[in-house]
Amino acid sequence: MATSEQMEAYSQFWSLTLGFAAPFALKAAVKLDIFNIVSKFSSEQGATLDEIIQELRIKHDADSIQAERLFRLLRFLVFKKVLALNGARYGLTPMSRLLVSHGSSSDVFVGGILSFCTSEVTQRSWQHVDAAIKRPGDSNAFVEAHGMEPQDYVAAHPEFWKVIEDFRLSISTATSATSFLHMFADADAAKIVKNCHSALESDGKIIICDMVMDEGKELHLQLDMMFLSGSQRYQRTKTGWKNLLESCGFGSEYSKKKYFKDMVGDLDVLIESSRE
């Protein structure tokens, strides 16, 4: 008989192991155009299963295997609060509205981020994180998986360029364009900051709006793991920013305060550091 501690451990194990179900359920829903379909109906009423089936133009039979599979997908999305269920009608939530692609030009659409994160190319890199950790030198999980750096892969596989472009477009609409330096490894980031240092007057100050990683926040850790799976970049902690700024000639003291709430969470922080 398993103890309560063992049962809790098993539950945690299965939750972690099957964590991939959520992003791929989202991907299936996007490819089926479910969020766009639901958005066509009244926001107060939503769409029934039969109405969604009709829009999908699949066999219109409530007892068909296709209807049963669709119901299971929708049930999971409701549980995850991606869709709302009012009686027999499915409606959008604030989260699923982010995946409606035919909204107004001012609406945020994050489908490109989802496509990138769930693409076969990106997913293959996750299979090689262990190799990148063991391999000495400048290798990374993407190189281990594909034998070349991401920019070289895109040049050799132009079809993946569309995935990258959609990802960048989604990032630009979903997040602040000011978040910048975390996209560079230390050596390249240092070159940029040193150029800023050289351009400043003697009493000048640098102001950076970027992420300061909070190791107690799951989203911050997940974003850092995404970098680990595909590049040499990483999310900098307070110590990481301090070391970068000091190495480029800025003072050992800097102020850090929340600047604004980013669309992907409380990520962007104003960092001020004076030139020494």
Closest by CA to 51, choosing from 63, 43, 36, 41, is 41
Within 10 Å of residue 82's Cβ, how many Cβ atoms? 21
273 three-state secondary structure: strand
Stated as kind and residue range, the H or E segment containing 246 is helix 238-247
- Tokens 């640098």 label which residue? 206
* Measured distance CA(257)–CA(176) in Å, rounded: 16
Cβ atoms of 255 and 272 closer than 8 Å: yes
pLDDT at residue 10, rounded to an integer:
92
The sheet carrying 47-48 orders its strands as 47-48, 89-92, 83-86
123 three-state secondary structure: helix
Burial class of 210 by CB neighbour count within 10 A (0 to 12, 13 to 18, 19+) = buried
Q: What is the amino acid identity at position 258?
A: K
* Measured distance CA(148)–CA(70) in Å, rounded: 39
Q: What is the pLDDT of residues 181-208, one digit of tens each?
A: 777 778 888 888 888 888 877 777 777 7
The structure tokens listed for 153 are 């892969």
The rounded mean pLDDT for the chain is 83
Domains of the chain: 4-107 (1.10.10.10), 177-276 (3.40.50.150)
For residue 75, pLDDT over 90 is answered with: yes
As a whole number, mean pLDDT of residues 30-46 equals 88
pLDDT at residue 17, rounded to an integer:
95
pLDDT at residue 63, rounded to an integer:
65
pLDDT at residue 194, rounded to an integer:
86
Using a cut of 0.95, tell me whether the model's pTM lies above it.
Answer: no
pLDDT at residue 2, rounded to an integer:
80
